[in-house]
Amino acid sequence: MEEDQVKPQKAVIALAAVALLAVGCSGREGGSSTEEDGGGSTSSSASGSFGDLADVCGPGDASSATAQGVTADEIQVGVFTDMGFTKQSEFADAAKVFTSWCNEAGGIGGRTVTANIRDAKLMEVRQRMLESCREDFALVGGGAALDGLGVKERLNCLMPSFPAQIAQATSVGADLEVSAAPTQVPGYDSYYGFRKWLMTDEYPASAAAVGIINGDSPVTKSLGDIAVESIQAGGGTFVYNDLYPASGVSDWTPYAQSIKAKGVKGLVFYGQFAQLAKLEDVLTSMDYKLDWIDANSNSYNASFLELAANSLDAQNNYVDLGGVAPLSSDNPATQELVELWDKYAPGTEITLPAIRAFSSWLLFAKSAGACGDDLTRSCLLEQARTQTEWTGGGLQAPTDISNPTVPQPCFNVQEGTPDGWVAPDFGADDGLYRCDVPPYKLTGDYGKPMTLADVGKSMSDVG
């Protein structure tokens, strides 16, 4: 009887693990950062400005307790993470870096910012959300693979959310949510421009022979369905569509043989990047080279390059950073971020989700600061929605926060090589980004975000 109970539990964890890795988590494993602030200095430390954003943080004369989690001296915010399961501390690291830097500069209008880490450990989203509802002013700079499990509770307690990443359909674009660097917009495929470039510009012969292989998880299967629709709309034809067990595959040979037999030229992969590296090793050993592999942004880290080292010369791995400046660029804001990480979280890796998290923190701080002493949730959201060209100080392509139903049109590509992640010629037309591909509106039903009306509330209830 006990064995029968253990097997389903393992299956749920395996499914959720694939889901977690499919929505943008990346970086090496590591615990939360607890080191003392390191040495070094940054030009923005004293001023409280970051990139081209002036006065993000600084002293002030706040004197009122205006909302839950807000006193005259402090603002408490929640940071969601799954690090108790993944051992990836990127959201906790981003919170530590931002709050350390901001508080050193004087806080937000003189109020100290305190980050309460809400570790969902994959399966405890609802429990952590209920805790956050009792203590926090807002959620900032985090994410959880099964975030849909807590949306109802969040809306019930009228909690604003400035997430670093979002995953499930009920969460993507839900009410009271403000995404500084959106990875998904309801009704659109954020990877359309990137994949169209692969099929139309870079490898036009590949459009007639596209394949997709997907972890057998509800979340990733939905993402796969979206990819199939948009790739077909972009002129691609699928010759291969398969699932692999969410817990992983011990021998990828049968899958590699099927990919070769079908003559796949371009492959979309959803799931754990360690599994992709194993598949590529088998394909390479069979002397079968694809034109391109969409490795998904979760592979944008040093760990994948190490695991796939034997195949990087033979296979062409590409990822879309979704309009976030790559770490290898000489972008001033990105280099400023690196300096802050070196000072406040030395020894931890800056991942793509961590950069998105920092942009979310900046948006929260600018919005909260604009409210002055009268910091309420309604004011916070109102101020955030005034941003029509948000770049996180220069960390990303401009995003119109005021209109969250329209996707950010820019993309930028990195290619995995033996020399690291590099930018191929993908037709950038706006600095580091390409923004000339019109967004594709999906026609299929892939779920919808939860609204205040779904829980019997409205914006007039938000204090």
- Which of 213, 159, 207 has its CA nearest to residue 380? 159
Highest mean pLDDT among 80-89, 215-224, 301-310, 363-372: 363-372
- Of the residues 277, 302, 321, which one is the last residue of a structural domain? 321
Q: Report yes or no on 247 lying in a domain.
A: yes
Do 241 and 170 lie in a common domain? no
Written as one letter, the residue type at 293 is I
Q: Report yes or no on 414 lying in a domain.
A: no
Q: Report yes or no on 29 lying in a domain.
A: no
The pair of three-digit structure tokens given for residue 449, joined into one six-digit string = 């975000």
* 454 exposure class (CB count in 10 Å sphere: 0-12, 13-18, 19+): middle
Written as one letter, the residue type at 168 is Q
Quick: pLDDT tens for 437-457: 988 999 999 889 999 999 999
CA 14, CA 145: separation in Å to the nearest integer? 12
Quick: pLDDT tens for 283-308: 999 999 999 999 998 899 888 999 99
Do 391 and 316 lie in a common domain? no
pLDDT of residue 405: 85
Total count of residues recorded for the chain = 463
pLDDT of residue 7: 41
Average pLDDT (23-38) is: 36
pLDDT of residue 438: 87
pLDDT of residue 20: 52
CA 346, CA 33: separation in Å to the nearest integer? 8
Quick: pLDDT tens for 379-391: 999 999 999 999 9
Q: Lowest mean pLDDT of 96-100, 264-268, 407-411, name the range.
A: 407-411
Highest mean pLDDT among 9-13, 158-162, 294-298: 158-162
- Average confidence score pLDDT of the chain: 90
Stated pTM of the model: 0.89
pLDDT of residue 169: 87
| β-bridge mates for residue 421, sequence order | 416
Do 400 and 379 lie in a common domain? yes
The pair of three-digit structure tokens given for residue 433, joined into one six-digit string = 């980004």
Q: What is the CATH number of the domain that holds 288?
A: 3.40.50.2300
Q: Report yes or no on 17 lying in a domain.
A: no
Domain of residue 387: give its range.
58-186+328-407+448-461
Average pLDDT (423-441) is: 94
pLDDT of residue 6: 38
Residue 5: is its pLDDT beyond 90?
A: no
CA 416, CA 389: separation in Å to the nearest integer? 30
Average pLDDT (157-171) is: 94
pLDDT of residue 114: 98
pLDDT of residue 404: 86
Q: Report yes or no on 84 lying in a domain.
A: yes
Do 316 and 198 lie in a common domain? yes
Residue 15: is its pLDDT beyond 90?
A: no
Average pLDDT (357-376) is: 98
pLDDT of residue 271: 87
Q: Report yes or no on 230 lying in a domain.
A: yes
CB 126: neighbour CB atoms within 10 A?
Answer: 16
- Of the residues 302, 321, 340, which one is the last residue of a structural domain? 321
In percent, the amount of the chain with pLDDT more than 90 equals 79
Highest mean pLDDT among 103-112, 167-176, 397-406: 103-112
pLDDT of residue 155: 98
More confident position, 154 or 298: 154
Do 254 and 221 lie in a common domain? yes
Residue 32: is its pLDDT beyond 50?
A: no
Quick: pLDDT tens for 128-143: 999 999 999 999 999 9
Q: Report yes or no on 14 lying in a domain.
A: no
Q: Could you please report the per-residue DSSP string of 177-225?
A: B--SS-S--TTB-TTHHHHHIIIIII-GGGGGSEEEEEESSHHHHHHHH
pLDDT of residue 220: 77
Q: Report yes or no on 261 lying in a domain.
A: yes
Do 120 and 94 lie in a common domain? yes
- Of the residues 258, 289, 321, which one is the last residue of a structural domain? 321
Do 79 and 174 lie in a common domain? yes
Residue 19: is its pLDDT beyond 80?
A: no
**Domain count of the fold of the chain:** 2
Do 237 and 302 lie in a common domain? yes
* 463 exposure class (CB count in 10 Å sphere: 0-12, 13-18, 19+): exposed
Alpha carbon separation from 314 to 201, 291, 412 (Å, rounded): 20, 10, 22
Written as one letter, the residue type at 138 is A
In percent, the amount of the chain with pLDDT more than 70 equals 90
Do 182 and 65 lie in a common domain? yes
Do 181 and 73 lie in a common domain? yes
pLDDT of residue 46: 54
Average pLDDT (308-317) is: 97
Q: Could you please report the per-residue DSSP string of 264-295?
A: --EEEEES-HHHHHHHHHHHHHTT---SEEE-
Do 316 and 382 lie in a common domain? no
CA 145, CA 120: separation in Å to the nearest integer? 9
Do 81 and 146 lie in a common domain? yes
